[in-house]
Amino acid sequence: MQIERRRTAQYLADAAFDARRSLPASSLAGASGAAETGEGMLSDIEAGYLSRIARGQTAEDIAAEDKISVQVVQDALSAAETKLGAMNLMDAVTKAARLGLLKDDSSLP
């Protein structure tokens, strides 16, 4: 079970990397209209959790690190999926990356 979660997390991280790589550098820096379109779409917590998922962490990892329940993390990720109109978590990470909503390590909650 843990191995499967790690594989899924790695798959999400790879998908987010591919999505970010396909964007122009200006949109990754938040200077494009795409990032501004998504501004305010996600809460800081939601964007932070999606960013951490994109880096390969699981909901369980995030919950343990932040000393909160897994359900709280899953609820925030589910809210992010809904706000982004995503079909699943991988789709949410990809859409967030394309909109420039993923945070770098220094700004994670």
Confidence band of 108 (pLDDT split at 50, 70, 90) = low
Domain 2-100: which CATH number of 3.30.70, 1.10.3470, 1.10.10, 1.10.287: 1.10.10
Question: Token pair of 33, please?
Answer: 């209209």
Task: Tell which residue, 43, 76, 83, 80, has the closest CA to residue 62.
Answer: 76
Taking only the tens place, the pLDDT of each residue in 58-75 is 999 999 999 999 999 999
Residue 104: band (very low, low, confident or very high) from pLDDT cuts 50, 70, 90: confident
- Residue 8 has a pLDDT of 65
Question: Where are the chain's structural domains?
Answer: 2-100
How far CA 7 is from CA of 3, 29, 39, 54, in Å, comes to 6, 29, 30, 12
Q: What is the pLDDT of residues 1-15, one digit of tens each?
A: 666 666 666 666 666
